[in-house]
Amino acid sequence: MGSLINKRVLLGVTGGIAAYKSADLVRRLRDTGAEVRVIMTRSATEFITPLTLQAVSGHPVHQQLLDTGPGLKHAGAGAEAAGMGHIELARWADAVLVAPASANFLARLAQGRADDLLSAVCLATEAPVAVAPAMNQQMWNNTATQSNLATIKKNAIRIFGPGEGSQACGEVGPGRMLEPVELVTLASELFATGELDGLTVLVTAGPTWEAIDPVRGLTNRSSGKMGYAVAQAAAESGARVILVSGPTSLPDPERVRSLHVESAQEMYDAVHQHAAKADIFIGVAAVADYRPARAAERKIKKTEIKLTLELERNPDILASVAALRPAPFMVGFAAETENLEQNARAKLESKKLDLVAANRVGADIGFAADENSLLLVGREDITELPTQSKTKLARALIHHIAARYHAKNDTKVHRLQRP
């Protein structure tokens, strides 16, 4: 099962009596660790007030397609949500869940309409979209509704439910919205792609620390965010994940075995304890190429005008794993300030890799930032992943790796779906 921790769930509420359950749904989604924003259609506000959903979600509710307020990136905490346009909301979401989804909304979704905020966001988002239908049983069974559902399914939108039982209108049959607790479980499964089911993925992340003396060292600006996101995305895809991390201030990712090291040599040793059983190796760590030849046992005193530090080469972890026989599917990262493609291709060849994920690094990009972009250079193709949060980028990268891994190993029957 996937996890909703730190996931951004956009909840759409349409007009139906089941809208009264939406407040409970928001609360339960938040209890599992999701951040929730709410869009209400005009008719939804006849059943439950925006104020209620604002109170339980902690954010103003979105209602208007054309909003003149400030955008997400430019406004303060409270105002920001109110001012998010449909494209910003569509990009913000990791998943869109429409619950309850009325018969009218399903018809509009099937037609690809974009004449209100919720339908426009469903059309504009790259995130997975799911709907939880809720309506009278006759309306549910009507051939028009069933044909709309068939179209919606064809468009890769997931349908949660409905349940059967007695309805608010007094009739009995299919059309009840699933209970919030069931919807939360189904929503978390949107993040469990199963693409790496049964495989072991070994990931390195963060910087290394090369001691000069007991209090000083050589390191770099890697925060570990990219590597931790990759480990998390691999776990979401069903893999057993071992993360070997240099020093960072991040919490260990969920359902990942995390091993903490300091130096490149320690990272090398930890990696080689697990590399033989890895199916895929992803080197995201910014490993120091050099270390002080000798680390002083005591703090170096300020006595000389000049101090020379002698450096020696660290082992190349990535190349050493690629040299194993059999080697795992090898993915290296390349941090470059220029000639991205050329340098990535050189690393692909020299380190004998299957794929290089190249990113531009500089004063304000790559290291430590929350967003990144990648150029994926493989032996046969090049793919560009545009700037987005490291969480989303990692999911797209894992999706790409899974497809290449299964193609190389001729592993068939896999659900290769959009992350």
Q: Which residues bind ligand PMT (CB under 6 A)?
A: 204, 206, 222-227, 264, 283-287, 289, 314, 316-318, 332-335, 347, 359, 361, 366-368
Quote the CA–CA distance of 66 and 46 in Å, as a whole number: 21
Cβ at position 353, least distance to ligand PMT in Å:
9
Please give the structure tokens belonging to residue 271: 């990696």
Cβ at position 28, least distance to ligand PMT in Å:
31
Phi-psi region of 122 (alpha: psi -120 to 50; beta: other; left: phi over 0): alpha
As a whole number of Å, the CA-based R_g of the chain is: 25
278, 242 Cβ separation under 8 angstroms: yes
**Cβ-based nearer residue to ligand PMT, 61 or 397:** 397
**Cβ-based nearer residue to ligand PMT, 160 or 333:** 333
Q: Which of 51, 55, 156, 169 is catalytic?
A: 169
**Cβ-based nearer residue to ligand PMT, 122 or 334:** 334
The answer to whether residue 169 is catalytic is yes
Quote the CA–CA distance of 121 and 90 in Å, as a whole number: 5
Please give the structure tokens belonging to residue 277: 């059983």
**Cβ-based nearer residue to ligand PMT, 49 or 265:** 265
**Cβ-based nearer residue to ligand PMT, 186 or 356:** 356
Please give the structure tokens belonging to residue 269: 């040793």
For residue 113, what are the CA distances in angstroms to 2, 10, 42, 110, 196? 30, 18, 16, 8, 35
Cβ at position 336, least distance to ligand PMT in Å:
7
Cβ at position 338, least distance to ligand PMT in Å:
12
Tell me the sheet residues that pair with 165.
173
Please count the CA atoms within 13 angstroms of the CA of 173 that sit on its side-chain side: 11
- Distant-in-sequence, close-in-space partners of 27: CB < 8 Å, separation ≥ 6: 56
Helices (H), 243-364: 264-274, 317-322, 340-350
DSSP state of 109: H
Cβ at position 229, least distance to ligand PMT in Å:
8
Show which residues are catalytic.
169
